[in-house]
Structure 1
């Protein structure tokens, strides 16, 4: 498993290091596009035309832009919580499982009220579904926190394994208690009524109101991390337990707070997926958003605002891979290849920058 810890070199060591740290994602993205062009040449495609299909065509009109922004919602929501975790030195790899649990809880909430003769309006149900999704993600993250706190279990392995359990759990749910009896025996719930779906923001696109909620949470998380005592305490408790104990902070509190925040944002992402573009419970509510959000968080330098930039880039890779498959006859996994290259170059840039700064510090 890749070690993401070198990416924490974004911690400021003075103005030059901060500037270089924030330049690292730009350099990594440029290298990704360069080597991506070479990959297209190796596959027998014109690199300029292929990159146009991959990166420009997904932004060709309002509807296409809406699709790009739509995919940023789950990516950024998951990345927000992961950024808090990683700043607190808590290595949560299970955001995808927490997203799935959020989707299950939110879907079950909607299905409970989506019956003939219901008297509660769509907006209250959507609010309850969103809160239920956050509760589901927090519950799943709390298992990791409990095992780490009580038994010192490795949170990387625990959160990762819980993701696979979540995938099996949603399979059981859509084949059992929440299965659509009129669904021709397909593993799915019934389609939610239109009043229980998030309203659209752009006519002619699927971009929904969850995008606005995402932007609000980005602002809230920025204030929490950089302008609140609670955020400062959380980071100190995770990265410097001895100093935290001396100051009266709780390292256990940092662990629980970071994982519960991460679970809540990932669960909300799952709730928005089932009440937004999908409109029902399916086994495939997440094509790996929680794992991609790890890259999003680090491309954004573990900064809430930066995750929006990272989310847009990863969204382009998702949609670009699909367009490359349909228009160029290339494998749909091409988007994952670009994501992997971006992570590799980001790790390389951060490592080289960090080693260069350490060498300069020793020779100064």
Structure 2
């Protein structure tokens, strides 16, 4: 079983007694250092001062309260999606469609808010809170529904969940274009593809004055703690991981590999859907075709940078958020292309996979030499 875990997730899920465990957590640090080093070299090749450019990426996004709030704001959808993906990958279920599940969550949440946000109706604070709760639950349901399609096709027809979940993302992108140009379109929106702007009582309250950081950040932290207990201190979490990574051992122990598949995908879809709901009732305040700049895909990197651990996902989310905002600042202040942030994300993933592979290869070579 340990061998299969190491093969599916190099080093990241190694049992506690193996010597590879310290290196598993050193790998993201090494990968981040290499990313910054090669990023500095890239800035030199582009004719920019590397130290000033790295300052724009790493220091300026957190230089004041408002900037720090923006960094933490972007961690909310990244970490929520990464939490669900970590569950999937630990269960050996390769969900690549968190982006589509996030979009469906946003659609369901927006439809719920618009159902209650009718002209002439002034909701009280209590009813506004109730609508936010309903919108969040609707977002979770939407994400679970979209992930459930992948689970059904994998369970019933043995379809490849990588392809199915990825293709469903493109369907979700077309679906949101349809609803913002059709059923949920703002009739007073001058023909723009968008819903009406939600009333203020149906938006998540801010946590810090002068910033857009909302209460969803607190919910995210609570869910990080819940998932840490679920994965590492509960029998259900243990059963889910064994059912996915060692089906034969699971059958011998009376666990169900099918149950692991469904549970992993539904949990992942629910978290991604909640991320979409928080986007539309949070910083955006309405349904737009571009509710996500690719959070669901970036969350894959966040999950692996965090070693498929809920707490690690928070640190990975902060790093990716810095790259998002740093890329935007580099575009406006240094005149660099907007894709520079994606370049940094790609380099981090490349170096992380390289470090994992090289370290794993070295440890296997040493183990073979000992034998």
TM-score relative to the length of structure 2: 0.96
Q: Is 2:260 the partner of 1:259?
A: no
CA contact (8 A) 2:110 2:280 kept: yes
CA contact (8 A) 1:7 1:351 kept: no
Structure 1 CA distance for aligned equivalents of residues 13 and 369 of structure 2: 21
Structure 2 CA distance for aligned equivalents of residues 90 and 138 of structure 1: 15
Q: Kindly provide the CA deviation profile for residues 57-90 of structure 1, in whole angstroms up to 9, marking residues without a partner as x.
A: 0011000000000000000000000000000000
Structure 2 CA distance for aligned equivalents of residues 329 and 48 of structure 1: 16
Equivalent residue number for residue 63 of structure 2 = 60
Equivalent residue number for residue 346 of structure 1 = 352
Q: Is 2:295 the partner of 1:289?
A: yes
Equivalent residue number for residue 279 of structure 2 = 273
Q: Where does structure 1 differ by over 6 angstroms across 4 or more consecutive aligned residues?
A: none
Equivalent residue number for residue 242 of structure 1 = 248
SS in 2 for 1:90: coil
Structure 1 CA distance for aligned equivalents of residues 104 and 10 of structure 2: 29
Structure 1 CA distance for aligned equivalents of residues 7 and 368 of structure 2: 22
- Tell me how far 1:16 sits from its aligned partner: 2.6
Query: Number of matched residues?
Result: 361
1:222 aligns with one of 228, 239, 242: 228
Q: Kindly provide the CA deviation profile for residues 158-188 of structure 1, in whole angstroms up to 9, marking residues without a partner as x.
A: 0000000000000000000000001010000
1:73 aligns with one of 67, 73, 76: 76
- Tell me how far 1:288 sits from its aligned partner: 0.3
- Tell me how far 1:7 sits from its aligned partner: 3.9
Equivalent residue number for residue 175 of structure 1 = 181
Equivalent residue number for residue 95 of structure 1 = 98
SS in 2 for 1:9: coil
Equivalent residue number for residue 10 of structure 1 = 12
- Tell me how far 1:10 sits from its aligned partner: 1.5
Task: Map 1:11-26 to 2 at 5 A.
Answer: 11-13=13-15, 14-26=17-29
Equivalent residue number for residue 199 of structure 2 = 193
Distance 1:211 1:5, change over 3 A: farther
Structure 1 CA distance for aligned equivalents of residues 195 and 231 of structure 2: 38
1:153 aligns with one of 153, 156, 159: 159
Structure 2 CA distance for aligned equivalents of residues 8 and 261 of structure 1: 23
Q: Is 2:60 the partner of 1:42?
A: no
- Tell me how far 1:54 sits from its aligned partner: 1.3
1:130 aligns with one of 124, 136, 143: 136
Gap runs ≥5 in structure 2: 1-5
CA contact (8 A) 1:98 1:141 kept: yes
Equivalent residue number for residue 358 of structure 1 = 364
SS in 2 for 1:301: coil
Distance 1:6 1:255, change over 3 A: closer
2:116 aligns with one of 113, 134, 149: 113
SS in 1 for 2:11: helix
CA contact (8 A) 1:180 1:190 kept: yes
- Aligned Cα RMSD in Å? 1.1
- Tell me how far 1:6 sits from its aligned partner: 5.7
Structure 1 CA distance for aligned equivalents of residues 298 and 217 of structure 2: 18
Structure 2 CA distance for aligned equivalents of residues 53 and 310 of structure 1: 19
Gap runs ≥5 in structure 1: none
Structure 2 CA distance for aligned equivalents of residues 265 and 133 of structure 1: 9
Distance 1:337 1:7, change over 3 A: farther
- Tell me how far 1:5 sits from its aligned partner: 6.5
Structure 2 CA distance for aligned equivalents of residues 8 and 25 of structure 1: 12
1:31 aligns with one of 31, 34, 39: 34
